[in-house]
Structure formats: C-alpha cells, structure tokens
Structure 1
Amino acid sequence: MPNLEHLKKQAKLYLKQHRDQYYPVAAAIRTVLPRYGHLDDNQILNASFKLADAQELVARKSGFESWQALKKGLQTMSDHSDNPVSKPFLVLAEPQLFVSDIHKSCDFYVNRLGFMLGFLYGEPPFYGQVCRNSARLNLRHVDRLPFDRDQLAQEDLLSATIVAQEIKALFLEYQEKGILFHQSLRTEPWGARTFIVADPDGNLIAFSG
C-alpha cells in the first residue's frame, strides 16, 4: 500500500520541478491532467501550477480522481489490511519500443496516431517518449532491430496494448487518416473490441476497448 507521506513528498517534488522549469514534468502534467492537454511544454511550465494541482497529479497517476479520493482510498486499504507493512503499488506501465529512426517514429506517432511528443533525449536523440492522454510509449533507437519484422507480423507478436474508450471512434479517426491496419476493428471471443496498427519498424500496437 502506498504511503501517504511519501505521496505528499512526491507532490511537493512535482511542484518544485515545475517551478524549476524541469521540462520532463511538463509531459507528465500534460498526460495526466486533462486541462493541460492542449498546451506545449513551455506553456505548461509557465502556467499556474499549485500544490493542489501537484497533489491531483499524484492522485491520478495512482488511479484516483482526486487527492481526497486518494486519501480516502488509502484509509480504506489501511482499515482492511492485516499487514501494517507497506506493500508495492504499481502505478503505470510504459512499454519501450525499439526503433531504427527515432525522428521517423515520432513523426508517425504524433502526426498519424495523434500522440504528443513528451520529450527527446540525446544529441543526436536516441530516446524519447510519445503520449496521448494517459497512454505513454517510450522509443529507444537501436542500430539493429532485435526482432524480425516479418515474424512479428506473421505471428501477431504485440509490442504494446493500449486500452481506449470509444474504440470505434478511434478506429474511424485512424481510418480517415489513411492508416493501414495490421488488423481491422473486430470483436474478440472474450468480448473486447480491438484493432492493431504497425509502426514504421513493425512494432504491433493493439488498441483495445
């Protein structure tokens, strides 16, 4: 179970990073807090960002709608816990995709799939992140891809699965943009509706609703 004092410190750290113009925190703010979703990094770092906003950021990353909901949830977990020792709490997964051309990959995810560029790192860049709402994908440049693209396609070997609301609307959005689907929208035997997109390096990204 996450510790409330630790989460309070994390919120204060986010607040300090914002005040210090630490650009990676802008990507987290934009991804998690919808009201900042239309702003770029500089606009976010120059916008008003208070402790209450930082606490909401921590709460949403922990799976709660608000700081008050997080505190109530922690209290409920504490009341029903037989073990007073803090337990690990998984907050977010960020799949890492191996790519041969990081600029080409970023262009695909941003201009074709509607993601936003979180950051690029290195000179020349070899690592980056793209995000759309709460979904994040990390891109890692490699000189030689560690997989066979044909095998990925033939065996439907997924690199990442993104759960989405309004899955049909997302499929139609991509269809209008001329995206070529590895798998069109369909209903799976277990009830989920899915479609799959292949990026320029053959990474298969499944969208599921």
Structure 2
Amino acid sequence: MSLMLLVVLRANARRWNVVCNRYRENGNIHRGGPVRAVRITPNLPVADIGEANGFYQEFLGLQTEEFNLGWVARYTSPESGANVQLVTADATAAADSVMSVHADDVDAAYAEAQRRGYVIVHPLTTETWGVRRFLVRAPDGNVINIVQHRD
C-alpha cells in the first residue's frame, strides 16, 4: 500500500468520525445493531516493551512507534499501515484484552453490549490518556477493548 493511499484512508477515517460526531450531536444516535469498527489492532502480551520492540520494529518493519505509555505501545509500518500493540498489563482494567476494536461510537457499542447481556470486564470510562473505552468478554472468553480516540 502506498504512503499516499494510507494518507487518504486516514483522512477519510477522520472525516467519517467528524460526520458521525455531527450526526450524534443532532440527536441521531445509533440504536442497536453491531459495533461499527473503524480499525482493529491486535494486543500482544509482552513482559517488557523495551526488550520486545526490536523484533517488531526491526524484523517486522513496524518502525513507527505511534505511542508508548510504558505499559502499552503501538508500532506501525510506515508503508502499509499494519500495526500491533504490545501490552505488559492494562493500566486501569483488571483484565488484559486480546485486541482493540476502534469504534466510531463507543457509547452506542457499550449500550449494545449491555443490551445483549455480554459481560462487561471494565466499565465505560474516559481514561486519562485520552480515550473512551470499555472491555467486554466475548462468549468464547476473549476480552476485547472497545475504544474511541478523541479527534
């Protein structure tokens, strides 16, 4: 995937978030149905991010460190946009998630998870590092981080 295509895809995703936010602000809130995932990122458990990142950055080519909070860091390929998050232990939740689903409306996703009776592992929270999220246990036992980043 070319860098230009990646830039266009990210710009379109940002525009889509703005449209969705305006839609919600006008009282049109998504009611029911599946979560609308914008992106899915695998969360790999590691003992130490500093020791693990060389493999992902140098060998796999995920050279861009998008962020590193000490307990979680995201590494992305500048060419393809492929990425992975390395996680030592979640900073605020009692359980670690296997993946992060970036949703366009985390509040609607939370309401839908509750409506369906799924186990909420970590309640809907605005975290200090700038995301709004909750963790839900899938029927197969996997814990999923449903997250929405501030624009």
TM-score range, shorter chain: 0.3 to 0.5
Question: Computing the radius of gyration over CA atoms, which structure comes out larger, 1 or 2?
Answer: 1
Which protein is richer in helix relative to its size?
1
Which protein is richer in strand relative to its size?
2
Structure possessing the higher relative contact order (Cα contacts under 8 Å, 6 or more residues apart): 2
Q: TM-score if structure 2 supplies the norm length?
A: 0.39
